[in-house]
Structure 1
């Protein structure tokens, strides 16, 4: 083994992981994130920085094409694994690491393709024609160029987008006037679904002129009903169907959901260390941590977010959604209560978590007619996340491209809710 191969093999002992979550696989994503953090492996923000692609959930046949594009965007050697069952993440990651270290010193021409497992016992997969390094979609290409931030952190991206000529198979459109009355090319950009810290299954098709979003089309991967309700809404839906659920269980799930959303938003903004804190607190809550055990760490995290002028400056004023507009659009939950912008929604999540600490150990039964899930009312005419999706075009149109992901993360719609079965007293299906 030459020195370069030895160095590469050593690096593969701590592979950079890019996790992609399919609709219905929230619990698997949480398990994968916790295990990757436990092992101390770095998390990649884009395919070009990843060694290991972890697909949470079993892909449908129609997912093969875009997942293949994600994998082709990863540098050699690269491995894709599919985790389809709870409890198999640790085993699958161990197999993947061994496969990576072996392939790190194997000449490309000698690499043998291997199958993907859909039962959790995932195995390394080979690349066919990997050298092309084509982006998974344009959003993946954008993301690998750097984390987004308000104030021009991604100003250079517009030039690169125009240089591509064609994005996600769509040619550039004709020129049109932008907000400054300049004649600029309109560019069609597909965002998702293969992005980190992105709502599972969401696809946005944006029309851009320069760095400004001029049009938005919201789409998503198929969301099928499963044997279990959406993970974050589970306590309320179980209680609605007559099962015994304590108020403490519901509070714990709500607080964990808000910390998950806050962690994803902070990661998109570039506050990685605080995002990791939120996710660690989320996992501790889901594992049954007591109020005393988690309270100190939570208060320190909330205080750090609230005291940061830099954070406030970077996201304040983005995605403004006044309460009257939110209510008219059918939005409920934290996005309605926040009555403001991205920063207000972040603070609302964290303040609800702080208030929820007092009820973690409440053993009283959750009322069957309590349908207040983490993202809003579960007994309205449509799932709460559908309303969040419906307001996205309004919030994104006219925004700078660099801010689009931040605005999406501040709403964090849960597409699993789109498959909600009818619950007693609910008007939606």
Structure 2
């Protein structure tokens, strides 16, 4: 028995961690990701690879039936899909992440929850959970300077096998039946497949379910379906400085610049990861963590500029992302888009360049002490003084950007917009930010 325990301890000294983040739990996610990086524990793409299940967000409704797509459903189904030995922890306090992970590791070593099965999820909700990613972390990048290019057609397998852009599994539902047949653009009769993505995938907006109708390799139709989440009185983490300033609090321009810098680095880390550039994603997230930890402007500038140069000089990244999800400025305005996606006036690559430019400028301003203008209500994803949250406009733009594109490109398009579903859960107090300046 003691030998068995020793072997288990050795096997789980660096457990595979599956993160399940609820909308509104950005602060917890950032704290967990920083601690995992410090420990050298890897995040995995799906339940089959996981040892430790880390759930981020409030525990309200944990054991309740919240209806189709509700948080209780997908958490229970993910837990069921993790093979024993396994353990799970729920992180609600960003300040106690280390304690939570230590507790989970101890449970894993003891086999505390190895046979602890959550209640069965209703069959009607099964499709939300069986398709989670199984990332293959490639080590074939050219000296870490470029993302791994995709296969000729994104590795599309109509039987639920490997799917992906730049070597990533896109997460089809196993055994999902073909719905019917229809004519494609070449007049051929091709199978039509309905594919849900989300709500829990690595490098994916928390709480987003995207339902795609595929014909061959092409997305014929896309529907956005956010997970149902109770309204929150707390401001979205990334928008917090501007909303607090608008409500009359004294917020320095430096604090706002620091949050903006970290927000765009967070988006860039997701973008690089989905494009297959894992080394660059890890470095970008390290700088994000330094920004959130209060690093001085001089340090941040010295850290971000090499990253910016690497991204701008990567011909492979340009080749992978140019032409994907083109959103002209005029169409963006019509759809209510007000942030970087409007400024970019172009495709996924253009949106990345806008993020890089904003990171460079905001890193240099992190030490500015003068007060933020309360009328300057523009967060990382757009204006916060309009009736529609900026991420709502981004989500509304997604279907048209995805329709007609190759399935292997869908995740890059989503990552290039990076909608923040925290904005959809926030309920503003009466009389706060409304008017458009």
TM-score range, shorter-chain basis?
0.7 to 0.9
Q: Paired residue for 1:68?
A: 76
1:212 aligns with: 218
Q: What's the secondary structure of 1:159's corresponding residue?
A: coil
1:325 equivalent among 309, 312, 331: 331
* Structure 1 residue corresponding to 2:260, chosen from 251, 254, 260: 254
Per the TM alignment, residue 125 of structure 1 is displaced from its structure 2 partner at its CA by 7.4
Distance (whole Å) between structure 1 residues aligned to residue 80 and residue 181 of structure 2: 32
CA contact (8 A) 1:16 1:41 kept: yes
Q: Deviations over 1:118-151 (max 9, x none)?
A: xxxxxx8723799xxxx97577636216579655
Counterpart Cα distance in 2 of 1:128 and 1:418: 28
Deviation at 1:247, TM superposition (A): 0.7
Aligned to 2:16: 16
Take 2:274 and 2:319, find their aligned partners in 1: how far apart are those partners? 15
The equivalent residue for 2:196 is 190
The answer to whether the 8 A contact 2:247-2:433 is kept is no
- Residue 237 of structure 1 pairs with residue 227 of structure 2: no
Q: Which runs of structure 2 are paired with 1:298-317 in the superposition (5 Å)?
A: 298-317=304-323
User: What residue in structure 2 maps to residue 141 of structure 1?
Assistant: 131
Which among 336, 351, 358 is matched to residue 357 of structure 2?
351
Per the alignment, in what secondary structure is the counterpart of residue 48 of structure 1?
helix
- Is contact 2:160-2:173 (8 Å) kept? no
Counterpart check, 1:27 vs 2:33? no
* Greater helix content: 1
Query: In structure 2, how many angstroms separate the alpha carbons of the residues matched to 1:332 and 1:343?
Result: 18
Structure 2 residues not aligned, in runs of 5+: 138-147, 163-171
Contact 1:67 1:136 in 2 (8 A): no
Alignment coverage as a number of residue pairs:
403
Paired with 1:5 and 1:157, the residues of 2 have a C-alpha distance of 40
**How far, CA to CA, are the matches of 1:217 and 1:245 in structure 2?**
38
Matches within 5 A, 1:37-48: 37-48=37-48
Q: Are 2:46 and 2:201, in contact at CA under 8 Å, matched by a contact in 1?
A: yes
User: CA offset at residue 18 of structure 1?
Assistant: 1.6
Decide whether aligned partners of structure 1 residues 155 and 92 sit closer, same or farther in structure 2, where only a CA change above 3 A counts.
same
| Whole-angstrom distance in 2 between the partners of 1:96 and 1:297 | 33
Give CA-to-partner distance per residue, 1:285-343, whole Å, 9 cap, x none: 11110111122221111111111111111121111111111112111111111111111
Q: What is the CA deviation profile of residues 252-308 of structure 1, one whole-angstrom value per residue up to 9, with x for unaligned ones?
A: 111110000000111111111111111111111111101111222211111111111
> Could you say which residue in structure 1 is the equivalent of 2:169?
none
Query: Which segments of 5 or more consecutive residues in structure 1 lack a partner in the other structure?
Result: 104-111, 114-123
C-alpha deviation, 1:7, in angstroms: 3.9
- DSSP-derived class of the 2:55 partner: strand
For 1:14 and 1:101, the matched residues in 2 are separated by 11
Offset, 1:9: 2.7
Matched residue of 1:354: which SS?
helix
Partner residue in 2 for 1:93 = 101
1:347, distance to aligned residue in structure 2 (A): 1.6
Q: Give the alignment's Cα RMSD to 1 decimal.
A: 2.7
Secondary structure, in 3 states, of the residue corresponding to 2:307? helix
- Between the aligned partners of 1:45 and 1:197, the Cα distance in structure 2 is 9
Return closer, same or farther for 1:140/1:275 CA change in 2, 3 Å cut-off. farther
* Residue matched to 2:293: 287
- Whether the aligned pair in 2 keeps the contact of 1:149 and 1:403 (CA below 8 Å) is no
Contact 2:261 2:359 in 1 (8 A): yes
CA 1:340–1:331: 2 relative to 1, 3 Å: same
Matched residue, 1:50: 50
Q: Counterpart in 2 of 1:121?
A: none
Determine whether 1:127 maps to 2:117.
yes
Relative to the length of structure 2, the TM-score reads 0.85
Alignment-derived partner of residue 342 in structure 2: 336
Q: Is the 8 A contact 1:79 1:96 kept in 2?
A: yes
